């Protein structure tokens, strides 16, 4: 196999990955995570950390639902009511993961380790990332199934 053939093959694989449903899900999830994370910072100006995480998660879920419907799971044959119901159920599971990890890290683990450099922000980022895989499969097979 020549070098140019190898490069062309690699480029085709990269293009396929960039068009894949999972990659699009990660892009949408990254956008929703940014909305989640940034809104937590804003809401935290008025409410405590736990409430801020909960409210910000709601902003992230709405963003994720709209973007997933538009760009990732376009072929779903389910009604919008079905999609929204399962989307909420899957995300409630993700929310429990996010809240538990965020609170455990920020309030117990990080202080015990003497880690206090942006502890709440880092704990929240880790909490947001954790449910990505379970959420993808939940949405693919429950929320937006064909």
pLDDT at residue 3, as a whole number:
67
Q: How far apart are CA 33 and CA 31, in angstroms?
A: 5
Residue 81 to residues 40, 66, 88, 96: CA-CA distances in angstroms?
A: 28, 13, 11, 23
Average pLDDT over residues 14-34: 84
pLDDT at residue 32, as a whole number:
92
Sign of the C-alpha dihedral, residues 52, 53, 54, 59? positive
pLDDT over 80 at 2, yes or no? no
Taking the CA atoms of the chain, what radius of gyration do you get in angstroms?
18
Residue range 42-97, pLDDT digits in tens? 999 999 988 998 899 899 989 999 999 999 988 888 899 999 999 999 989 988 98
Average pLDDT over residues 91-117: 92
Q: Are the C-beta atoms of 33 and 61 separated by less than 8 Å?
A: no
Q: How far apart are CA 22 and CA 3, in angstroms?
A: 29
Between the ranges 18-27, 92-101, 112-121, 126-135, where is the mean pLDDT highest?
112-121
pLDDT at residue 59, as a whole number:
94
With pLDDT > 90 as the criterion, what percentage of the chain qualifies? 47
Q: Are the C-beta atoms of 128 and 97 separated by less than 8 Å?
A: no
More confident residue, 4 or 66: 66
CA-nearest of 134, 131, 21, 31 to 76 is: 21
């Amino acid at each position: 196999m020549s070098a140019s053939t190898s490069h062309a093959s690699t480029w085709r694989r990269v293009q396929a990955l960039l068009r894949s449903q999972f990659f699009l899900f990660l892009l949408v999830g990254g956008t929703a995570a940014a909305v989640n994370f940034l809104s937590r910072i804003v809401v935290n100006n008025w409410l405590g950390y736990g409430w801020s995480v909960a409210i910000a998660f709601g902003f992230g879920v709405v963003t994720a639902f709209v973007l997933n419907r538009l760009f990732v799971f376009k072929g779903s044959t389910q009604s919008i009511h079905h999609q929204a119901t399962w989307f909420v159920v899957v995300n409630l599971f993700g929310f429990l993961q996010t809240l538990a990890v965020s609170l455990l890290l920020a309030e117990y683990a990080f202080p015990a380790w003497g880690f206090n450099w942006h502890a709440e922000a880092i704990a929240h980022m880790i909490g947001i990332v954790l449910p990505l895989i379970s959420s993808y499969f939940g949405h693919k097979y429950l929320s937006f199934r064909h």
